[in-house]
Amino acid sequence: MIRFGYSGMPDTDDDGAFLDGLIERGYDAFELAFVKEFPWNLKRCATFGEAAAARGIALSIHAPYFAVLTVEDEDRSKQCLAAVEHTMKLAAAAGADIVCVHPGSRNDRPAEQLVDLVTRRLEALTPKVEHLGVGLGLETTGKTSGFGTLGDIAIFANRIPFVRPLVDWAHLHAISRGALTSVDAFVEVFRFLEANFPGWMIDPLHCQFSEIQFGDQGEIRHLPYGDGTLRIGNLVAAARLMDLDLTIISEAREQTSTETMYAELRQALSEPLNRPGRPVASGLVDFPEPLRVVPSGDGWKPADTTRPLVLRNIDKPFFPDGYTKGDLIQYYASVAGSLLPHLADRPIVMSRYPDGIEGETFYEKQAPPHTPDWLPTLPVFSKERDGDIDFVTAPDRDALLWLASMGCIEMHPWLSRRDSLEHPDYAIFDLDPADEATWEQVVVVAGLIRETLGHLGLTGYPKTSGATGIHIYVPLDPVHDYRRVRRFVEAVGRLLFAADPDDVTMEWDIPKRTGKVFIDHNQNVAGKTIASVYSVRPRPGAPVSTPFRWDDLPDVHPGDFTIATVWDHLRLYGDLFAPVLRGGQRLDGAEERLGLE
């Protein structure tokens, strides 16, 4: 889908009449331009948002121009951040998906200094806005004196869950001295976006469009559409070729320019589209970044890879709901940007279902003989084998596609990485409800663990198991061995059992667990694995192990997230497990409080 609208303010207090007027012109998006001040309060935004939602119009809000992130002065920076925060709260009230913010100016400062400064600003903003479900769209700069290339924005989007790229195509055209004059040029930008941002973050991609005059230093001034060399038709053609959804906001100063853009957009949408191959997925799910495949021998090859990767039996049913192996492959292709950092440099145990979840299943540690040469393996010494096991790894999207094509529904990574295999970089509390235990008990025990970790000076991050339980990860610096991490989890578990024996059990005898939630501290053992965050689980509906906010614990249920529904959650909150990758915690203080030597 390609949405189109413009940036401005309604010219009437009659919201229905204004929005109906947009629809009559064919527009289905609108950006509230709060560029100089805040003319509306929360209640006014909510009223407008309800009317827009009822008509299917996507809203965004442009923050004030002064609300930038690169200000050195601390007092002025607080004012800027307060303005960004307020804009995001207004956007949440209006039901807007994204807020547009200009990152700011360089002022001859080195890139490293600016990245550090903006990161600190965003981290200060995080606790105030991360719960809102609104994306902070950092707009690409149009001048060499500005800060905010797509590379800059990628850094922040990978660190701060709610940051999004917001592409101003006129700015990119200006900063590249007029390079965006062909469909191929737009395709190259899309390829950069796909390589540097998760698929759910850029599909749909929020962007702005206008005509611009530029010079050696970039943007000079806006022009009426048609007076320059930037064409919206090329953008639309490229998006169709890449199968990307867009929301395009006209920033033209003249209504006639916006109307001309829209006419050209409609013409581009009507042109015949010749894309190679076919979709790998069944069509039952609207996945971000749809993957297309072309025939190759007895299988199919992804159209956008140069590797000798052949996917077989892509139409084979894998789930009783009708989802196919192709849907599994497409899911992992779409979630790759978020999943891969959590698999990086870890040995992976494959949980294989060659004929789907109702067929034979087995775990596979040793990389099979037909593992492709381009897929790295990681040798780990095994005492039982008195030799190495070559585990597969997942360094990139093609590796995920190969694993899914092997019928690997679940991704089971180690708790430690290549360079510190004896030292896990997180502890895991695996909450497994036994027979006759309820989900409400799982929620109670998860809340107890959160509270206990807080008293111990630690932070944990929850995710649904994708089955019937909850996993809580405690990020760690990789300095403690497995024995020590396991002992810590066991000590907390026994403390909780003493406090709440009606809900918690540590019993190894399965019949004695009945009606309680089992805390399995033995998941924290070298070689033991657990389904990764964003892993599909082999159950009807294709559920996904998905992180959630602690504040949502009372409202989360096991089946909330599937390969079809997880995308809205990601777009709202980003990768809530990103902090797990940063470690930054040690057990020493907690062990002292627990009386552990």
Helix (H) or strand (E) segment spanning residue 129: helix 111-129
pLDDT at 511: 87
Pick the CATH number of 2-270 from 3.10.20.30, 3.30.530.20, 1.10.3720.10, 3.20.20.150: 3.20.20.150
Edge-to-edge strands, sheet with 299-302? 278-279, 292-296, 299-302
Q: Give the pLDDT band of residue 259 (cuts 50, 70, 90).
A: very high
In a 3-state reduction of DSSP, which class is residue 352? strand
CATH 3.90.920.10 domain extents, the chain: 278-413, 426-594
- Over 80: is that where the pLDDT of 462 sits? yes
pLDDT at 328: 97
pLDDT at 51: 95
**Cα gap 582→591, rounded to integer Å:** 21
Q: Do 1 and 24 touch, CB atoms closer than 8 A?
A: no
pLDDT tens by residue, 485-510: 999 999 999 999 999 999 999 888 88
pLDDT tens by residue, 13-31: 899 999 999 999 999 999 9
CATH 3.20.20.150 domain extents, the chain: 2-270
* Among 173, 79, 69, CA closest to 121: 69
pLDDT at 402: 96
* Among 30, 34, 32, CA closest to 6: 30
Question: How is domain 426-594 classified at the architecture level of CATH?
Answer: Alpha-Beta Complex (3.90)
- Over 80: is that where the pLDDT of 8 sits? yes
Radius of gyration over alpha carbons of the chain, in Å? 25
Q: Is there a cis peptide before residue 204, judged by omega within 30 degrees of 0?
A: yes
pLDDT at 341: 94
Q: Once rounded to an integer, what is the mean pLDDT over residues 458-464?
A: 96
Average pLDDT, the chain: 93
Burial zone of 400 (CB within 10 Å; 0-12 exposed, 13-18 middle, 19+ buried): buried
Q: Do 372 and 309 touch, CB atoms closer than 8 A?
A: yes
278-413 under CATH 3.90.920.10, yes or no: yes
- Over 80: is that where the pLDDT of 597 sits? no
In the 3-class helix/strand/coil scheme, how is 103-115 assigned residue by residue?
CEECCCCCHHHHH
Give the residue with greater pLDDT, 122 vs 158: 122
pLDDT tens by residue, 405-449: 999 999 999 999 999 999 999 999 999 999 999 999 999 999 999
As given in the structure block, the two tokens for residue 18 are 């204004």
Name all contacts of 14-19 with Cβ < 8 Å and 24+ positions apart.
Answer: 15/47, 15/48, 15/51, 15/52, 16/51, 19/51, 19/52, 19/55, 19/57
Q: How far is CA 58 from the centre of its chain?
A: 20
How many CA atoms lie within 13 Å of 573's alpha carbon, on the beta-carbon side? 16
* Among 97, 89, 86, 87, CA closest to 57: 97
**Cα gap 517→509, rounded to integer Å:** 13
pLDDT tens by residue, 329-369: 999 999 999 999 999 999 999 999 999 999 999 999 999 99
